[in-house]
Amino acid sequence: MRASTLYALLAMPAVLTAQMPSAPSVPPPDGFRVYLITDMEGLASVVFNREIISGYEGERYRNQSSQDYWDHYRDLMTREVNAVIAGARAGGARSFVVNEGHGGNLFGNILPWDLDTAAILIRGWPKPMVMSTGLDSSAGAVMFIAAHANAGTPGIISHTYAFDRLTVNGRVLNETGINALVAGEYGVPVVLVSGDDEVVRQAKEQLGPGVIGVITKWAIGRNAGITLSPAVVRQMLADSAAVAVRRAQRGEFRPFTLAKPYQIELVLRHSYPAELIAPIDTLSGFHLEKTADRTYRFVTTDAREMARLLDAIELVVLR
């Protein structure tokens, strides 16, 4: 998700004062369910932010994209997700929940009419715990599609919500790791991560070497890479998703867990002006302790509470 991008634009007073809606449950599965968290930074061939924002996010972004760029890449995203579903189906999965995790066009990027008809799609904003809305223990496996690397690392369009750094129990987590921990609360393992070589390396480091990685491109820097053909990547995604589901059904993956209570440390982006982040000091509803400039400590026994805190911080910081 390009969360900062998104919330900066969405941060109109009406949105800020509104409660995050509660999400109804997704209809129960008939067969093995795969929950897909779909982003765009890690799609085959994507290297520029303008390729993955629509220009409709808000004022600041009006001239930073064009319909031409975004139309192509939302089509490519839809095809990559379909390839994953086709592969997962071949591996034995029968239910597919697709949650849009990319803030471009306010989480409305996938083309619903071109998406595999078996998929249940969660799109739009605001939605609680944006990258894991609708996830529950009915899923047998989680897959991250087109993910990106952690803030401050040499991945393509790398970032982590509104932070320069986020650690849990002293371990740095990227967006994949954060949401893997949320999935772990439901007992659901992450089985596959696709994106550039850097996010795949991070996934294995954070979640363990057993997670299946699909490298769609190799990062040269934040806005350059060496990419495979998108068609070849779709075949790789399908093949890997089939293997992942077979292995998941054999119980070969463990949910990602860390010792509780979680000791969380957040470092807000230093690129934000001070007045923008001042309200975080008095954020209500969370026991957030300021330990240094832009650095906060939070302790919880539930990763979902951490996810809700991240939502709240984004809304405040980007006012």
Residues that bind Zn ion (CB under 5 A): 1-2, 39, 102
List the Cα angle 190/196/197 in 5-degree steps: 85
Rank residues 95 and 176 by Cβ distance to Zn ion and give the closer one: 176
> Residue 2: which of 215, 194, 241, 175 has the closest Cα?
175
Rank residues 95 and 179 by Cβ distance to Zn ion and give the closer one: 179
Rank residues 3 and 215 by Cβ distance to Zn ion and give the closer one: 3
CA atoms within 13 A on the CB side of 44: 21
- The answer to whether the beta carbons of residues 204 and 198 sit under 8 Å apart is no
Rank residues 1 and 309 by Cβ distance to Zn ion and give the closer one: 1
Name residue 144's beta-bridge partners: 37, 193
Closest residue to bound Zn ion by CB: 102
Nearest distance, CB of residue 110 and Zn ion, angstroms: 13
- The answer to whether the beta carbons of residues 311 and 285 sit under 8 Å apart is no
Nearest distance, CB of residue 147 and Zn ion, angstroms: 8
d(C-alpha 57, C-alpha 53), whole Å? 8
Name residue 226's beta-bridge partners: 218
Q: The tokens of 307 are what?
A: 């996810």
d(C-alpha 119, C-alpha 164), whole Å? 34
Name residue 224's beta-bridge partners: 221
Nearest distance, CB of residue 157 and Zn ion, angstroms: 8
Nearest distance, CB of residue 246 and Zn ion, angstroms: 29
Residue bearing tokens 């795949």: 200
Nearest distance, CB of residue 303 and Zn ion, angstroms: 20
Nearest distance, CB of residue 6 and Zn ion, angstroms: 9
Q: What is the DSSP letter of 195?
A: E
Identity at 25, one-letter amino acid code = S
Nearest distance, CB of residue 304 and Zn ion, angstroms: 21
| DSSP H helices in 1-104 | 3-10, 13-17, 67-90
Three-state SS sequence of 125-150: CCCCCCCCCCCCCCCCEEEEEEECCC
List the Cα angle 151/154/156 in 5-degree steps: 85
- The answer to whether the beta carbons of residues 141 and 191 sit under 8 Å apart is yes
Nearest distance, CB of residue 177 and Zn ion, angstroms: 15
- The answer to whether the beta carbons of residues 269 and 164 sit under 8 Å apart is yes
Q: What is the DSSP letter of 160?
A: B
Rank residues 217 and 247 by Cβ distance to Zn ion and give the closer one: 217
Nearest distance, CB of residue 1 and Zn ion, angstroms: 4
Rank residues 2 and 127 by Cβ distance to Zn ion and give the closer one: 2
